[in-house]
Amino acid sequence: MAGAITHDLPPAADGRQGGPLIVTEDAELLDDLLRLCAAAGARPEVHHGVPEGRGSWEAAPLVLVGDDAARRVRGAARRRGVVLVGRDQDDSGVWKRAVEIGADHVLMLPDGEQWLVDRIADVAEGVGRPALTVGVIGGRGGAGASTLACALAVTSAREGRRTLLVDADPLGGGLDVLLGGEAAEGLRWPAFAASRGRVGGGALEESLPELHALRVLSWDRGDSVTIPAQAVRAVLAAARRRGGTVVVDLPRRVDEGVAEALAQLDLGLLVVPADLRAVAAAKRVASVVGMVLRDLRVAVRGPYAPGLDDREVARLLGLPLVGEVPAESAPLDAGVPPGGAVRGPLARFCTAFWQRVPVEGGGV
């Protein structure tokens, strides 16, 4: 059980933080807290009371005070990020003691273990603002969604943002292939199929292939074409915690795993060729995607059928218009990734897109 009293834990700066400060003389409680810190990948500092000097108490990203030590820390300076940890579910006095020490939360073990592991992992990773997460989906087959997704990611990385490109379409052939990195070392989606609960953001990033200054989560050449929804949720949540930008290439079908991906997007781009049949197909895709994703916008690809332009396509779909997606200037088999030609029309389109859309995470 965990209960909030005043406010959330303090936001952490970018980069890894120090471990939490543990204050307790209860040997059994200390063993449990050390076990939970180990599970979260954090190294705590342990004291029986308020540390001498001001540094440790004020600087620790998270302070875990055992209920046995509440009286000993009563006179400590008030700060955010203090959690009072106990075991007695029936002790109503714990709330009074929490107020006396200025605790943000009261947590009872063992019920609150997962909550606490997540909080410890957050401070260990230095979690700041989540990544701006953009999904790209084709209005019909061959619309060029994968090319646009790669170009957006390449452009984001070139501008110095921490960038992760996620291939959520197992039947698309692999974005690592499109980027010329099918032989690059690193994990692919099947390695994360058993993921549940929390995945470490830093560990995820370091395990993936690095291509063109960005990380890529793609598919291998095996037979596995499905990832459980829980694994999709865990992996994308980890990616978002790292900040910067996450670009997701989505299939047109929506199963449980794709629905999980859609639920974590900040906005989606529906790529639609400018002909009536493509618009009709895209309208069906938009109706399904729109049940999960609120912010869906249309990016139109020429050439245009008679009587159509980008504004008319957007009007027919009832979606906001991002603009016309130009063709890539360099052939994709020339060793240059989509968006890799800095002065090319596709790179300019993507650069303008990132300038118009605030990148809240901004991690580098």
Over the chain (364 residues), what is each successive 10-residue block's mean pLDDT? Answer: 40 56 96 91 91 81 96 92 92 93 94 88 76 96 95 97 95 91 93 82 90 95 83 91 94 92 95 96 96 94 93 97 86 77 94 80 40
pLDDT in tens, 96-125: 999 999 999 999 999 999 889 888 887 877
pLDDT at 53: 66
Q: Which two tokens stand for residue 147?
A: 């090319």
Backbone angles phi, psi at 319, to 5 degrees: -125, 150
Residue 122: predicted pLDDT = 78
Q: Which two tokens stand for residue 38?
A: 């180990």
Helix or strand holding residue 82 (H, E): strand 82-86
d(CA 236, CA 199): 9
- pLDDT for the residue numbered 209: 96
Peptide bond into 331 cis (omega under 30): no
Is it true that the peptide bond before 110 is cis, omega within 30 degrees of 0?
A: yes
Structure tokens at 45: 């500092």
Number of H helices, E strands in the chain: 12, 14
d(CA 151, CA 145): 10
Q: What is the pLDDT of residue 140?
A: 94
d(CA 133, CA 16) in angstroms, rounded, equals 22
Query: Dihedral sign, CA of 333, 338, 340, 341?
Result: positive
* 160 phi-psi bin (left φ>0, alpha ψ -120 to 50, beta other): left
Angle at 339 between CA 324 and CA 303, to 5 degrees: 30
Looking at residue 196, its pLDDT comes to 75
Which residues are paired to 163 by β-bridges?
Answer: 245
**Residue 66 and residue 84: Cα distance in Å, rounded?**
6
